[in-house]
C-alpha cells in the first residue's frame, strides 16, 4: 500500500496549488483526480459561453510572480478553454502531473486513530494511506440532476452543463430544451439560441443578471496591472469578496432617486459583479435592496420587447441573495423568434417524456435536453466520499443537520483532514482562487509547525467548532442571505438538504481570524 505525507483529492485550482506548495516544503504528496485532466470546474464545464465572471487579471493565481507576468489573458473575462489552458500550463510549468493520478475517484477515507493516519480507497479498489488529507473536491463539482420522472425515457440527448461532453456538440438544426436559468444557463442561452433551430427555456425562478461588457483585454490596462500586481492583489484582498469591486460606503437610501439611479447606471455600464457593491447596504437592508431590484427590472423591461416575457424575466426576489449572474445578451435573446420562455414555477415540470417534457399545463417537445440545474454545492462532493473519522463516525452522520467545522477548514472528530474552501469559509462568496490560495497557505504553515514540533495530529476542538458555527450564523443573520431566497448557499436547491447558510461572510475579517490563530499557536486546535 502506498503511503504519503499528504493525499490531495481533486486537481482543480485548489488541488494544483496544494500539491505545488506542500511538495515544495518537502512533504510527499499525491493527488487523486476523477477526470483525465487538471482544471476541475474548467475541465468539466465546457458548455457554450462558459467563462469566468471575475476579471481574468484577478481570477488567476498570485503565488508565483513569474507566472503572473508571463501569462496573458485574451479577454476581460476569459473563456473556459483559455482557463483550462492556464490550468494545464500551471501543471506543466510546476511539473505537477507526475504526482497526479488521473481517472481515479476516491470513494472512502477512514481515520486510523492508532496510527494517526488516513486509509483511503479508490473506485478501482486500490488502497493508500496518508498522514494528512487535503480535500480539494470543489464547491461546485457534484452536479445536480433533479429526479425528474421519466428522465430515462427521453429519446433524445440529455446534457448537463456541469458535465459537458469533451467532443463538439453540434446543435445546428436541433430543437433544444433547457431547464434552469442560473449562471450556467444565462451564459449558455444566448449561444444556444444562435445555434439551435428552436430553444425552449424552462424557468422556475428568474435570476438577476448584469451585463458583462466583455471585451478583448485592454493591453494598456494589463500592462498597468502587471506593473503593479502586488499592490493590486493586496488592495483587493482587503475587500469584502476579495474583488476589485470598488465598494461604496454610501447607503442606497441616503440618496435622491436621480443620484442613486445615476450610480446604478454607471455600475451597469461597467458591468459584472461589482454592481453588488453599488451601495453598502444592498446585502443587509431590504428597502435598499429593493432599489437595486427596481433598477434591474426596469432594465429588463427596457431590453425585452414583449412585456409579458419581460415580466416573466423580472425576478421577484432579493438581488444578490442567489448568486448574481453576469451575461452577454441574455435578456436580448428573448427577443428572438426561435426562443420561448416557459415559467415552470406556476406550472411545474411533471415529467420528462420520450419527446420532451410535460408541465402541469402542457407538453413540449425537443430533441436535446440541457440540464442547467446546478450543483449539490459546498458539501456534495465531500459527502459523496465515505469519510469516517474517530470512533467510526462518518462525515455524513456528523453533518446530517448541516456542515459544522472550525474555520471552514477542519472538523472535530476528523483529525488531519482539511476542506479547502469548505462551508464555513468565504469560499464561493469570494474570488475563489484568492480564497483557495489563502487556505492552502494556512494549511501549509500548520503542517510545517506540526513537523517542526514533532507532532502528528491536529484536530479542531468541539468548543472551537461550536463557537465557529455560531459566528458564521450570527454574521449571516445580519444579512438578507439566509431568508431572502431559496439559494444553493442555504442548500435549498437539493430536496432534503439541511437549510443552513453555509459560507462565512466577509473575506478580510476571515483572513484576520485565520492569521490570529496561527500567530497565537493554534488555539481551538488539539495538537498531539
Q: Which residues bind ligand FAD (CB under 6 A)?
A: 9-15, 32-35, 40-41, 43, 45, 50, 52-54, 59, 105-106, 136-141, 184, 381, 385, 420-421, 431-432, 436
Q: Could you say which of ligand NAP, ligand FAD, none residue 374 binds, taking C-beta under 5 to 8 angstroms by partner kind?
A: ligand NAP
Please give the backbone phi and psi of residue 365, each rounded to the nearest 5 degrees, phi first. -120, 145
Binds ligand NAP by CB under 6 A, chosen from 55, 104, 181, 425: 181
SS3 content of the chain, % helix, strand, coil (to 5): 35, 20, 45
Nearer to ligand NAP, 372 or 480 (CB): 372
3-class secondary-structure state, position 28: coil
Over the window 370 to 409, marking each residue x when it contacts ligand NAP by CB under 6 A and - when it does not, the resulting string is --xxxx----------------------------------
Q: Contacts with ligand NAP in 477-506 (CB under 6 A)?
A: 488, 493
Task: Give the nearest distance from C-beta 108 to ligand FAD in angstroms.
Answer: 9
**Residue 364 CB partners (closer than 8 Å, separation 6+):** 177, 200, 202, 342, 356, 357, 358
Give least dist CB 344 to ligand FAD, A.
22
Strand-strand pairing, 2-9 and 29-32: parallel
83 interacts with ligand NAP by CB under 6 A = no
Q: Is 180 an interacting residue with respect to ligand NAP (CB under 6 A)?
A: yes
Figure out which of the listed residues 56, 122, 205, 404 binds ligand NAP, where binding follows CB under 6 A.
205
For ligand NAP, which stretch binds (CB under 6 A), given 17-25, 181-189, 286-294, 297-305?
Answer: 181-189
Interface characters, 226-245, with ligand NAP (x: CB under 6 A)? --------------------
| Cβ nearer to ligand NAP, comparing 377 with 514 | 377
**Cβ closest to ligand NAP, residue 27 vs residue 481:** 481
- Short-list 189, 169, 430, 403, CA closest to 323: 430
Question: Residue 397 CB, nearest distance to ligand NAP (Å)?
Answer: 26
**Judged by CB under 6 A, does residue 344 bind ligand NAP?**
yes
Backbone angles phi, psi at 111, to 5 degrees: -85, 125
> How many Cβ atoms from other residues are within 10 Å of residue 363's Cβ?
12
- Per-residue 3-state assignment (H helix, E strand, C coil) for 29-70: EEEECCCCCCCCHHHHCCCCCCECCCCCCCCCCCCCHHHHHH
Nearer to ligand NAP, 96 or 179 (CB): 179
Out of ligand FAD, ligand NAP, none, which partner does residue 431 contact, by CB within 5 to 8 A per kind? Answer: ligand FAD
Taking CB within 5 to 8 Å according to partner kind, which of ligand FAD, ligand NAP, none is near residue 15?
Answer: ligand FAD
Smaller CB separation from ligand NAP, 180 or 422: 180
Nearest approach, Cβ of residue 115 and ligand FAD (Å): 22
With CB under 5 to 8 Å by kind, the binding choice for 502 among ligand FAD, ligand NAP, none is: none
C-alpha–C-alpha distance, residues 267 and 285, integer Å: 19
CB 306 within 8 A of CB 331: no
Burial 150-159 (b: 16+ CB within 10 A, else e): eeeebebeeb
Binding to ligand NAP, residues 111-140 (CB under 6 A): 140
Q: At what angle do helices 257-270 and 286-303 cross, to 10 degrees?
A: 60
Q: Do residues 104 and 122 lie in contact, with contact meaning Cβ atoms separated by under 8 Å?
A: yes
Site mask, ligand NAP, residues 39-78, x = CB under 6 A? -------------xx-------------------------
Q: Contact 399/383 with Cβ under 8 angstroms?
A: yes
Smallest distance, ligand FAD to C-beta of residue 61, A: 11
Is 35 in contact with 442 (CB distance < 8 Å)?
A: no
Burial 248-263 (b: 16+ CB within 10 A, else e): beebbeeeeeeebbeb
Joined grid coordinates for residue 320: 444578490
* Cell of residue 189, nine digits: 442561452
Residues 6+ away with beta carbon under 8 Å from 469: 404, 405, 424
Cell of 155: 429519446
- Contact positions with ligand NAP (CB under 6 A) in 321-340: 323, 326
* Closest residue to ligand NAP in the complex (CB): 182
When CB distances are held under 5 to 8 angstroms depending on the partner's kind, the choice from ligand NAP, ligand FAD, none that residue 296 binds is none
Closest distance to ligand NAP from the beta carbon of 410 (Å): 24
Distance in Å, CB of 351 to ligand NAP, minimum: 12
Half-sphere exposure in the Cβ direction for 339 (13 Å, CA): 22
Element (H, E) at 210: strand 209-211
Could you tell me the smallest distance in angstroms from the CB atom of residue 288 to ligand NAP?
Answer: 22
Q: Which three cell numbers stand for residue 245?
A: 469591486
Binding site for ligand NAP (CB under 6 A): 52-53, 140, 146, 161, 179-185, 187, 204-205, 323, 326, 344, 349, 372-375, 428, 488, 493
Amino acid at each position: 500500500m502506498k503511503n504519503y505525507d499528504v493525499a490531495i483529492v481533486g486537481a482543480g485550482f485548489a488541488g494544483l496549488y496544494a500539491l505545488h506548495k506542500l511538495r515544495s516544503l518537502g512533504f510527499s504528496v499525491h493527488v487523486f483526480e476523477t477526470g483525465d485532466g487538471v482544471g476541475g470546474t474548467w475541465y468539466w464545464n465546457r458548455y457554450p459561453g462558459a467563462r469566468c465572471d471575475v476579471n481574468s487579471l484577478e481570477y488567476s493565481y498570485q503565488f508565483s510572480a513569474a507566472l503572473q507576468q508571463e501569462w496573458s489573458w485574451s479577454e476581460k473575462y476569459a473563456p473556459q478553454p483559455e482557463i483550462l489552458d492556464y490550468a494545464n500550463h500551471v501543471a506543466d510549468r510546476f511539473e505537477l502531473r507526475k504526482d497526479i493520478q488521473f481517472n481515479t475517484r476516491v470513494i472512502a477515507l477512514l481515520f486510523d486513530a492508532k496510527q494517526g493516519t488516513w486509509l483511503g480507497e479508490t473506485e478501482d479498489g486500490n488502497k493508500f494511506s496518508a498522514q494528512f488529507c487535503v480535500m480539494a473536491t470543489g464547491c461546485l463539482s457534484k452536479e445536480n440532476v433533479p429526479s425528474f420522472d421519466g428522465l430515462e425515457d427521453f429519446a433524445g440527448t440529455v446534457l448537463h452543463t456541469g458535465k459537458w461532453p469533451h467532443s463538439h456538440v453540434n446543435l445546428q438544426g436541433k430543437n433544444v430544451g433547457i431547464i434552469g436559468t442560473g449562471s450556467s444557463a444565462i451564459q449558455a442561452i444566448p449561444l444556444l439560441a444562435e445555434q439551435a433551430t428552436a430553444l425552449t427555456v424552462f424557468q422556475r425562478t428568474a435570476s438577476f443578471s448584469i451585463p458583462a461588457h466583455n471585451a478583448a483585454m485592454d493591453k494598456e490596462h494589463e500592462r498597468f496591472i502587471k506593473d503593479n500586481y502586488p499592490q493590486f492583489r493586496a488592495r483587493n484582498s482587503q475587500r469584502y469578496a476579495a474583488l476589485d469591486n470598488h465598494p461604496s460606503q454610501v447607503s442606497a437610501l441616503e440618496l435622491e432617486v436621480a443620484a442613486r439611479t445615476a450610480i446604478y447606471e454607471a455600475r451597469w455600464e461597467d458591468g459584472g459583479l461589482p454592481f453588488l457593491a453599488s451601495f453598502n447596504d444592498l446585502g443587509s437592508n431590504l428597502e435598499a435592496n429593493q432599489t437595486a431590484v427596481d433598477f434591474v427590472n426596469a432594465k429588463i423591461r427596457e431590453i425585452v420587447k414583449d412585456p409579458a416575457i419581460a415580466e416573466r424575466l423580472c425576478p421577484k426576489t432579493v438581488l444578490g441573495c442567489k448568486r448574481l449572474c453576469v451575461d452577454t445578451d441574455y435578456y436580448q435573446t428573448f427577443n428572438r423568434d426561435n426562443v420561448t420562455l416557459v415559467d415552470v414555477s406556476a406550472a411545474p415540470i411533471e415529467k420528462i417524456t420520450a419527446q420532451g417534457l410535460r408541465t402541469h399545463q402542457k407538453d413540449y417537445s425537443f430533441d436535446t435536453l440541457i440540464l442547467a440545474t446546478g450543483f449539490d454545492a459546498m458539501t456534495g462532493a465531500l459527502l459523496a466520499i465515505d469519510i469516517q473519522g474517530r470512533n467510526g463516525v462518518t462525515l455524513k452522520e456528523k453533518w446530517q443537520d448541516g456542515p459544522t467545522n472550525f474555520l471552514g477548514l477542519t472538523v472535530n472528530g476528523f483529525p488531519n483532514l482539511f476542506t479547502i474552501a469548505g462551508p464555513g469559509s468565504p469560499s464561493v462568496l469570494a474570488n475563489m482562487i484568492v480564497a483557495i490560495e489563502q487556505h492552502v497557505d494556512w494549511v501549509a504553515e500548520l503542517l510545517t509547525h506540526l513537523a517542526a514540533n514533532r507532532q502528528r495530529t491536529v484536530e479542531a476542538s468541539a468548543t472551537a467548532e461550536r463557537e465557529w458555527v455560531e459566528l458564521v450564523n450570527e454574521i449571516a443573520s445580519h444579512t438578507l442571505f439566509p431568508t431572502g431566497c431559496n439559494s444553493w448557499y442555504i442548500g435549498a436547491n437539493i430536496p432534503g438538504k439541511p437549510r443552513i447558510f453555509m459560507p462565512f461572510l466577509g473575506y478580510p475579517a476571515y483572513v484576520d481570524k485565520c492569521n490570529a490563530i496561527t500567530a497565537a499557536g493554534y488555539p481551538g486546535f488539539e495538537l498531539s
